[in-house]
Structures are given as C-alpha cells and as structure tokens.
Amino acid sequence: MQRYFVPPEQMSEQDVRITGEDVKHIAKVMRLKSGDKIICLNNQGRQTLCEITSMETNVVTAVVLKELHEQAELPVSITIAQSLVKGDKLEFVIQKGTELGASSFYLYSGERSVVKWESSKVKKKLERLRKIAKEAAEQAERLFVPDVLYYHSTEMMLEKSFSFDAAVYLYEEQARHGQHHDLADVLHPMPSSILAVIGPEGGISEKEAVAWKSSGCRAVSLGPRILRSETAPLYLLSALSYHYEILR
Ligand code: SAH
C-alpha cells in the first residue's frame, strides 16, 4: 500500500489533507481513486490507514480508518556524518542510508574532500536530498524521515558530538593497523544514540583525527578492506541491523 508523509498540521484525528507533489503521485503515477486506501504518516510517530474521499487538482482528502502501530525503525538512533562526495554519490548515501534505517544525516566538507558547496546552492541541494530521504523512507516503510543537515564548519559539527550517547569516526588507519574490535565494544551495551563520522574520498586527515578524538569520538574500523566513502555508512548501518535486529 502506498505511504505518504504529510505535514502534521494537515492530519487531524479524523482526516488528512494531502497537498504538493504527492497529489500528482496519487492521481497520475498511482492512478488511485476515491475509495482507495493509503497509509498516511505525520513524521512524529503517527501512522494511519486512510481511505481517499475526494480528489481535486491540488488536494487529496482522506478519512482516517485506523491507527497503525507496527513500525520498522532501527532500535538505535544513528546519525551519519558524511563528508561531501562527488556527483550523485551523496544522493546514493541518503537514499540507501535511509532504506537501511539512519535517523539523520549531517553533511560536512572534510579537509581532503574534493567537493565544496557554494553557500548560495546549499538550500537547493538540501531540498533535493530531503525529498530523496522522504521517498526512501516511504518506500522502506519507515515511521520517520531522516533529517538532512549541512554544517558549514566542522567545529560546529564537532560540538554536536557531545549530545550523543556514543560517537565514533570510521578511520581507515584503524583498519590498516588491524584494530577491528572497537565497533563491537561501542555496540555493547547498546547506546541510545550514535554519531558516526565518515571521511571523504581522500580519507580523514591526521589533524581531523586528532580533532575528532578530542571531541570524544572513538576511532573504529570496519574491517580489513578499505571502502569507498559512500560504502562505509551502508556497511555500518547493515552491521547495526544485523547486530540488533537479526542476531537477537
Ligand atoms: N583514500 C583514502 C581512503 C578513504 S576511504 C586512503 O587511501 O587513505 C573513505 C572513508 O571511508 C574513510 O575516511 C573512512 O571514514 C571510511 N572507511 C573506509 N574503509 C574503512 C574501514 N575499513 N574502516 C573504517 N573506516 C573506513
């Protein structure tokens, strides 16, 4: 069944007003009609089974049939701090990372990152990435759409690391030195929230490694192979799912 995240103010106890691009999706792409059922979510934890009652050019109205309680969120809240990467790889990280259960994405430009964002383009880029996150969350049957935030300064992002129960940076040097145990240590017992910093194509500089460490982040390896920047978060998210959802 099709799922749509709707702004919370457009969802009352009894009915839902869907506006914007989802109207086109419902009418033109899915060819749904009055009487068809959809699931509407408010991105604040509410998930409802609804029936479409009217379809106009710019608004679809639906009545709430019942509240749904099944949910598919990872048991741990995980924020992926992803260094900017070239081309559409960032979109790939947001889409696949959302499917795999990330709670938020922080974007930053690492010292060795080839990509820099012009300030004037940040808003537009974020809009596009947030749309990708929304669609991926709908497709993955998630209860929440991950936040996508951009940090102009790495220092500001570092300050955030203190608000997480556990903070790590995925460090290729840790992997090269064969020190693969830290991630397992961090995951047991389960922290309530994790921040995981990922370096750019060129890797994490020594200066950055020192800065992450002094902000309370622990260096972790993802095993002996050196992964591309866009592969690393997907490995980590898959490992969290295996550890907390499959093994138990
Ligand atoms: N070109 C760099 C490697 C960069 S890999 C070099 O030759 O040193 C890109 C990022 O992915 C790294 O900064 C790190 O955050 C993460 N990463 C890749 N493989 C990893 C591994 N095995 N363990 C931990 N982090 C890894």
Q: What's the pLDDT score for residue 49?
A: 98
Contact between 79 and 106 under an 8 Å Cβ cutoff? The reply is: yes
SS3 233: helix
**CA 130-140-144 angle, 5° bins:** 55
Pick 77-246's CATH classification: 3.40.1280.10, 3.10.20.30, 1.20.1290.10, 3.30.70.100: 3.40.1280.10
> Which residues of the chain are in CATH 3.40.1280.10 domains?
77-246
Contact between 95 and 46 under an 8 Å Cβ cutoff? The reply is: no
State the distance from the centre of ligand 1 to the C-alpha of 199, rounded, in angstroms.
6
Q: What's the length of the chain?
A: 248
Inform me whether the pLDDT recorded for 87 exceeds 90: no
Judged by average pLDDT, the poorest of 16-20, 157-161, 223-227, 242-246 is 157-161
Could you write out the DSSP letters of every residue in 71-125? ----SSEEEEEEEP-STTHHHHHHHHHHHTT-SEEEEE--TT-S----HHHHHHH
Inform me whether the pLDDT recorded for 72 exceeds 90: yes
Task: Kindly state the tokens that stand for 188.
Answer: 């047991």
Q: Which of 165, 235, 223, 233 is nearest to 197 (CA)?
A: 233
State the distance from the centre of ligand 1 to the C-alpha of 91, rounded, in angstroms.
19
Residue type, 197: V
Q: What's the pLDDT score for residue 248?
A: 79
SS3 153: coil
- Percent of the chain with pLDDT strictly greater than 70: 100
Inform me whether the pLDDT recorded for 3 exceeds 90: yes
Residue 20 pLDDT level (bands cut at 50, 70, 90):
very high
Instruction: Choose the residue to mutate in 227, 236, 237 for probing ligand 1, maximizing ligand atoms within 8 Å of C-beta.
Output: 227
State the distance from the centre of ligand 1 to the C-alpha of 110, rounded, in angstroms.
12
Q: Which residue has better confidence, 228 or 156? A: 228
- Percent of the chain with pLDDT strictly greater than 90: 98
Cα–Cα distance, 212 to 150 (Å, whole number): 18
* Ligand 1 site, CB within 6 A: 170-172, 175, 198-199, 201-204, 221-223, 225-227, 229, 232
Contact between 170 and 196 under an 8 Å Cβ cutoff? The reply is: yes
Cα–Cα distance, 38 to 20 (Å, whole number): 16
**Crossing angle (nearest 10°) for helices 232-241 and 89-99:** 0
Mean pLDDT confidence for 60-84: 97
SS3 157: helix
Q: What's the pLDDT score for residue 80?
A: 98
Left (φ > 0), alpha (ψ -120 to 50) or beta: where does 178 sit?
Answer: left
Q: For 90-145, how does the pLDDT look when each residue is reduced to its tens digit (9 = 90+)?
A: 999 999 999 999 999 999 999 999 999 999 999 999 999 999 999 999 999 999 99
CATH 2.40.128.260 fits 3-67, yes or no: no
> Which residues of the chain are in CATH 2.40.240.20 domains?
3-67
Task: Kindly state the tokens that stand for 82.
Answer: 């992803």
